[in-house]
Amino acid sequence: MVSIFTVDAVTETPFSGNPAGVCIVPRADDDSNNNRKWSLSDKQMQNIATEMNISETSFITFHERTLTNVWELRWMTPTVEVNLCGHGTLSAAAIIFQEYGDKVGNSILFHTLSGILIAEKNLNTGKIKMTLPNNPPVIVSNPSAIHKQIFQCMNFNMDDFHELAYSMTTKKLLICLNNFNRTKLEALKPNIDGLTQIDQTNEIDSGNNVK
């Protein structure tokens, strides 16, 4: 049996903020097969994330067989697994502190695709502080066919295009535009359906997909 929560992160008001799913997965009874710690398959976790239909669902399980403050953490969107999610990490930490309390102390270490992440709870205020990697993007000198499809779906004027950057870790694409202001930004009408329909099969296989 798994436990699933919906957490409204970075807010003190219910039904606001940035929601994330958090799924506590029982640890596998036998992790001798490639040191696998998860009792659910990748496909099962992806199906859960798809059904949750939130931007990210965090999956957590014990790093060791007995409960400590060290956990495994993965993040999945409704369609793919991602290497890092800030509000998903915060939500996972909040659930662990809530469900396990003193058993994990005031500091949690997460093993993730982005390395070791740390979440610390202030015992006086109850607030959680996280340590996350910077993951600076790298300038893309030659936009790919996929990037150009994204440009079309974003519906900005190519005369305003200045620079493109991409983070291999987070799979985020940063589009820098010239001569842009708030009025132009709010006037943009992105084709969201078009973005979700872009075929990134080859990019996912090569690790170059855009989240």
Active site residues: 56
CA angle at 113 for the pair 81 and 99, rounded to the nearest 5°? 85
| Encoded tokens for 152 | 């079309």
| Encoded tokens for 198 | 């872009």
Q: How many CA atoms lie within 13 A of 167 on its CB side?
A: 15
Q: Are 173 and 190 in contact (CB under 8 A)?
A: no
Please list the helix, strand and coil fractions of the chain in percent, rounded to the nearest 5, in that order: 30, 30, 45
49 contact partners, CB below 8 Å, separation of at least 6: 21, 56, 57, 76, 77, 78
CA distances from 84 to 9, 167, 179 (A): 15, 11, 31
Q: How many CA atoms lie within 13 A of 155 on its CB side?
A: 12
